[in-house]
Amino acid sequence: MADPEPSYLSRFFSSQFSRLPYPTQCFKDEVILVTGGNSGLGHEAARHFVRLQAAKVILAVRESQKGEQAKLSIEASTKVQGVVEVWPLDLEDVRSVQSLAAKASSLPRLDVVVANASISTSKWSLVGDVERTIQVNVLSTFLLILALLPKMQEQDMEGRIRARPRVVVVSSEGHETTAFAEQNAPRIFDALRDQKQANMDERYDTSKLIQLYLVRALAERLSQSDKPPVTLNAVSPGLCKTRLRRETPLVAQLLTSPVMAMLARNAEDGSRTLVHAAAADHGETNGKYLRDCKVTE
């Protein structure tokens, strides 16, 4: 008989205390875009990409001033100038997503997209006619990915051999914990914007589960396409000390602070999982879920 699957909690604790390899992969000559690159995991991943010889690292951020501060921090620590750029991106605004995609069309190439930006909030609100968490974490994130795919699939004009482009969606182990009651509704997205039935305590985890469904579905479609292949995967960085909890009520933050202090990885440790998932492969991770720098269920 096969060994039983470890429980969620045992896997979580084992994961949090696992040692993650320091990134050494080469990103020489590659153009990389990181959403939410001004802080936390995105910022530290961008720092690694610059250190690992990327030609251009774009920080796609909501607040340009914070993006510029992040750029200065990366340049100071890596001693590399002229690689980091700051581009505006507001995932609550579809027009902002479209504007960034249009700007990216003028890039000479685009090798890696790290879809890192997300929100976690217990407050229900609408952006247009969509609940805000779903708009930011799901709809705008995948609108951006779809809009950038044509640029990523362009052939090298100079005939050079390029590594297969990669898209990394930053997910969460929390996707395992959501009941996702809305999946039984006749129209799922209608149910997700209904305030009366919204369970906002699990909405972030629900959004991460929907992300995984979309990663698997889109990766399958891409693998069947006659266009140049792109690797699309999802990665869980584990519980990390970042600003993701900034919209969590203060009381809840205080109650969970001892757990964060004891168990949470720092942002640099967590960012290693993003860099690993973004590294060149031959499609081995396409449509896959990665945890602790390994493909897992």
User: Could you say which of 208, 236, 288, 289 is catalytic?
Assistant: 208
Q: Across residues 134-158, what is the average pLDDT?
A: 93
In a domain, 4, yes or no: no
- pLDDT for 252 equals 66
- List the structure tokens of 245: 């909890």
Q: What is the DSSP letter of 136?
A: I
What's the CA gap between 270 and 70, in Å, rounded? 17
Q: Are 92 and 132 in contact (CB under 8 A)?
A: yes
pLDDT at 9: 74
Q: Model confidence over 84-136: pLDDT tens digits?
A: 999 999 999 999 999 999 999 999 999 999 999 999 898 999 999 999 999 99
CA atoms within 13 A on the CB side of 67: 20
Measured at the CA of 85, the angle between CA 80 and CA 91, to 5 degrees, comes to 140
Q: Which residues of 210-220 are buried (b: 16+ CB within 10 A; e: fewer)?
A: bbbebbbebbe
- Does residue 9 belong to any structural domain of this protein? no
17 in a domain, yes or no? no
From 118, 120, 171, 271, the catalytic residue: 171
When pLDDT is cut at 50, 70 and 90, the band that residue 264 belongs to is: confident
Compute the average pLDDT of residues 144-165: 86
Of residues 12 and 244, the one with the higher pLDDT is 12
Q: Which domain holds residue 237?
A: 22-296
1, part of any domain: no
Q: Report whether pLDDT(254) > 90.
A: no
User: Is 15 among the residues known to form the active site?
Assistant: no
Q: Give the pLDDT score at 95.
A: 98
* pLDDT tens, residue by residue, 189-202: 999 999 999 999 99
Q: Indicate whether 44 pLDDT > 90.
A: yes
Alpha carbons 87 and 132: distance in angstroms, whole number: 22
Q: Residue 44 burial by CB count (10 A; 0-12/13-18/19+): exposed, middle or buried?
A: buried
Indicate if 22 belongs to the active site: no
Please tell me the predicted confidence (pLDDT) of residue 155: 80
pLDDT at position 257: 72
The strand pairing partners of 126, in sequence order, are: 131
Does the residue 10 lie in any domain?
Answer: no
d(Cα 182, Cα 203) in Å, to the nearest integer?
A: 11
What pLDDT shows up at residue 211? 97
pLDDT value of residue 238 = 84
State the number of CA atoms in the 13 A half-sphere of 34 facing the CB: 32
Active site residue 208: yes
Domain count, the chain: 1
Q: For residue 274, what are its two tokens? A: 């993003």
CATH of the domain at 289: 3.40.50.720
Predicted confidence (pLDDT) at residue 14 exceeds the cutoff of 80 = no
Share of the chain above pLDDT 70, in %: 91
Q: Is the pLDDT of residue 246 over 80?
A: no
Task: Tokens 């205080």: give the residue.
Answer: 254
Is 238 part of a structural domain of the chain? yes
Mean pLDDT of the 238-255 span = 70
> Which of 188-192, 246-250, 255-259 is modeled with the greatest confidence?
188-192
Choose, from 15, 118, 172, 204, the residue flagged as catalytic. 204
Calculate the alpha carbon distances from 107 to 1, 103, 114, 151, 225 in Å.
53, 8, 16, 8, 23
The one-letter amino acid at 206: T
CA–CA separation, 210 and 87 (whole Å): 27
Mean pLDDT of the chain: 91
Rounded Cα–Cα distance for residues 134 and 136 (Å):
6
Q: State whether residue 64 is helix, strand or coil.
A: helix
Q: What is the pTM of this model?
A: 0.92
User: What are the tens digits of pLDDT across the range 269-288?
Assistant: 999 999 999 999 999 999 99
Asked, for residue 15, whether it belongs to a domain, the answer is: no
Tell me what the mean pLDDT of segment 223-229 comes to: 92
Mind listing the pLDDT tens digit for each residue in 54-69?
999 999 999 999 999 9
| Structural domain includes residue 6 | no
